[in-house]
Amino acid sequence: MSSEMNQLVEIKLSADQTEGTQATVAQWLKRTGETITKDEPIIELETDKVMMEVVAPASGILHEKLVLEGEPAEENKILGTINETGVSNPSNEIKIKQERAETTPNYVSNDLPRKDPTAGLPNPPSTFISPAVRRLSQQHNIDISQVQGSGKNNRITSRDIKAHLSGSIHVAPNIPDAVEPTAAGSEIIPHTQMRKIIAEHMQHSVQTAPHVTSVFDLDLSAIIKHRKANKQAFSELGVKLTFTAYFVAAAIQAIKHQPKINSQFHEHGLEVFKHVNLGFGTALGDDGLIVPVIQQAQNMNLMQIATELTRLTDRARNNQLTQKEVQSGTFTISNHGVSGSLVATPIIINQPQSAILGLGKMEKRVVVEEHNGQDMMVIKPMCYVSLTIDHRALDAYQTNDFLSYFKNVIEGWS
């Protein structure tokens, strides 16, 4: 081995960075030949759930990129190399600066008074534009300066460009001839890595598990009364007391009553978990869906549940979730009613879990109740609650037993 090779440090992913998920190189934050400082972010990775950064394992110059943007980044795969003893050529540094200047957004025109575009912003936007981002922006005729970056130091990522596309009216992109032609008046919006993995995950779940759904009616009067009396006190502590917090708390109690709901099917037997790592679906608009996980939820009271829901929801919407915060779920809740849905069936099970709980929209409905031996019509705040199960693991008995207990907890809340 040459002396030069002895000076090279490999850039790899560790197991705790991927945790079994598929990751793709979204963009390199450094160019080949550029000076690098140890622990400086050099790569942005995209998974179906989060964006994450790979930092430099050593100082030196970026010697070679072995995994390019858009290619998969696997555990222990060498993504690139750093020459520890290398020194960047001054002419190379000048070239890099020129390239960056050419790709920096033009915030102001020459005939207007110059104004700092970052004035008033908490973090100034990064001027680095990766080749992938530049290519997408050119294909879709996008003004980079109009895109909000979600990467480190507000860097613009490929996902930001795609999010901008999905929320904007724009001209048809300049799609290469290799892409399948589209009909007149249509366009192709490239799939994000998140959308691709969601598609694979959903298809795998349907092909793996026979889905069966049971639906109950749910009276929300008791939790509405409790929330009205306690919402302000929670708010003063910086915690949002949402209906989802009650649903999580009731689901935990119902799981303790019917533990097999919190399980995973294996060919040799049913694995029933003693801990409840409860995931809750969080919509990210056109970007897709993410499922943050409340770890060890069986040990939490309503305040602790609401606190964790607030924290994780805020991090999800700000694209700040770590891989560990979306992993190891044993049971999932889909509160699809927040977007107006009454019933969603079947809600696809989050594999390899055995069940998923669905909560529909709350609406006032006329129901019949017996008072003093007489049937009376009364107006109640109602919603539909469903449980979709993997019929390999569970049957109607466990399903309806869980839902009956869940219903009693919610309707008897005090």
* pTM for this model (two decimals): 0.66
Overall average pLDDT of the 84-99 stretch = 63
CB-based contact 394:355 (threshold 8 Å): yes
Overall average pLDDT of the 260-287 stretch = 92
* pLDDT of 210 strictly over 60: yes
**Could you tell me the domains of the chain?**
1-109+116-208 (2.40.50.100), 210-411 (3.30.559.10)
Give the tens place of pLDDT for each residue, 331-342.
999 999 998 999
Tokens of 74: 């696997």
Q: Can you point out the beta strands (E) in 134-173?
A: none
209 three-class SS: coil
Q: For 297-318, give the DSSP string.
A: GGG--HHHHHHHHHHHHHHHHT
Give the tens place of pLDDT for each residue, 105-126.
443 333 334 333 334 444 444 5
Q: What is the pLDDT of residue 151?
A: 64
Residue 154 C-beta-side C-alpha neighbours within 13 Å: 13
* pLDDT of 172 strictly over 50: no
Q: What is the pLDDT of residue 1?
A: 42
Give the tens place of pLDDT for each residue, 22-69.
788 888 988 888 888 988 888 888 776 677 788 899 999 999 999 988
Q: Which of 176-185, 244-253, 351-360 has the lowest mean pLDDT?
A: 176-185
C-alpha dist (Å) from residue 302 to 284, 360, 406: 25, 21, 15
